[in-house]
Structure 1
Amino acid sequence: MAGFLDRAKEQAQRSMAQGKEKLEEVQAHRAGGDLLKKLGAAYYAEKRGAGTPEATQRALSDLEAHITAHGDSFLRGA
């Protein structure tokens, strides 16, 4: 009986770790999408005369930092 409980506990811990990993992946994906939207908004504002090149560059830098940290998989769904 103890062996069964130990295996069940290990399985539960693995499942929790996988769930946490998936949650972090989804959160990074969302954050990347948000940064991509901010870049698009900054670029659009700049082209319409309401934004600045600095704001566009800042948004691009933020997006590039996110890609460096988390990869670019979120771009495939864009």
Structure 2
Amino acid sequence: MAGFLDRAKEQAQSALAQGKQKVDEVQAQRAGQDLLKKLGAAYYAEQRGSGDPRVTQQALQAVESHIAANGDGFLQSSS
């Protein structure tokens, strides 16, 4: 009986870890998409003459930092 409970506990912990990993991935993807939106808005404002090139550069650096930390998977997502 104890072996069964140990296996069940291991499976539950594994499922919990997988769930947490998926949540972390989704959060990182959303954060990356938000950074891309900010970069796009900054670039658009700059091209229209109302934006500051420093803001665009900061937004680009934020995207690059996010890629360095989390990868570029969010770039392929269309949603």
Equivalent residue, structure 2, for 1:44: 44
Task: Give the TM-score normalised by the residue count of structure 1.
Answer: 0.97
Task: Work out the CA distance in 1 between the residues paired with 2:64 and 2:52.
Answer: 19
Moved over 6 A (4+): none
Output the CA distance in 1 between the equivalents of 2:19 and 2:50. Answer: 43
- How far apart, CA to CA, are the structure 2 residues paired with 1:58 and 1:47? 16
Q: Which residue of 2 aligns with 1:16?
A: 16
Task: Work out whether 1:71 is the aligned partner of 2:52.
Answer: no
Give the superposed CA RMSD. 0.6
Cα offset, 1:73, TM superposition: 0.5
Q: Deviation per CA, 1:30-74: give whole Å up to 9, x if none.
A: 000000000000000001111110000000000000000000000
Matched residue, 2:58: 58
Identity across the alignment (%): 69
- Supply the distance in 2 between the matched residues of 1:9 and 1:51 (Cα, whole angstroms): 55
Structure 1 residues not aligned, in runs of 5+: none
In 1, distance between residues paired with 2:56 and 2:41? 8
